[in-house]
Structure 1
Amino acid sequence: MKKDDSINAMNGVLVVCGTDPVTGFFRDGHCNTCEADQGSHTVCAVMTAEFLAYSKYVGNDLSTPRPEFGFLGLNVGDPWCLCASRFLQAHDEGCAPKVHLAATHKRALEIVPLEILKENALPA
């Protein structure tokens, strides 16, 4: 699988989203993507209690450990490369997590308008 260029939503160099736990489609700490990433794991989101509860409610439990998959579960404050469509869905429901723009891949813009990402961005 060839990665897309590592460019962030602001047309800069894509920075690390998170390494504890290691995130990303490629599990390299970055929200890199490629054609095989059908979920578009491109939004670097910082988990909140509200978002984790919402995600569990809609069928994607990110907080419960799944050791059989090497997944320890996410906690409030953990950064995670979130599917762009899930981020937009959470935004539309009023419970979007905060976004690290420099760590959000440019391909997220194919699904989430830049204005919405900026609205939910962490302070620079």
Structure 2
Amino acid sequence: MSSETLPEIKGQTNDLNVLGNPLEVCSCQPMTGWFRDGHCRTNVGDLGRHSVCCVMTESFLSYSSAQGNDLSTPMPEFGFPGLQPGDHWCVCAPRWKEAHDDGMAPPVLLNSTESSTVEIIPLEILKKHAHQGMS
């Protein structure tokens, strides 16, 4: 799905990434995003700000679970397979910043991280955590 085909969603911020380019898909397997459309885009209804596209690591999954958000355990009743290291997932910007401050931040896919993220996390910090080989 290209950014040109994204459906309009009332109250959404925009469909640009932190680099000012069209927002790219984060993951469709497993399906991620506040709108479950594969994109890390948000709107006023998304109080968690699911805008940071991350590559899951074992350490971040353990950290997230310790913070009360178990992303590894499958929940079939919600169609959630559970995440594994290497999966891409839209993470809440405040949680990513918290993980960063605790030295546990996962790598970021900049091309798939929504532009409003920089209101919470400075672009320079995101760039320092850019996934190697992919932005």
Query: Shorter chain as normaliser: what TM range?
Result: over 0.9
Look up the match of 1:14: 23
Counting only pairs closer than 5 Å after superposition, residues 1-124 of structure 1 correspond to structure 2 as: 1-2=9-10, 3-123=12-132, 124=134
Shift of 1:19: 0.7
Judge conservation of contact 2:56–2:87 (CA < 8 Å) in 1. Answer: yes
Cα distance in structure 2, aligned partners of 1:57 and 1:76: 16
Where does the alignment leave 5 or more consecutive residues of structure 2 unmatched? 1-8
* TM-score, scaled to structure 1: 0.96
What is the number of equivalent residue pairs in this alignment? 124
Amino acid at match of 1:15: E
Runs of 4+ with deviation above 4 angstroms: none
Cα RMSD (Å) of the superposition? Answer: 0.9
* TM-score, scaled to structure 2: 0.89
Where does the alignment leave 5 or more consecutive residues of structure 1 unmatched? none
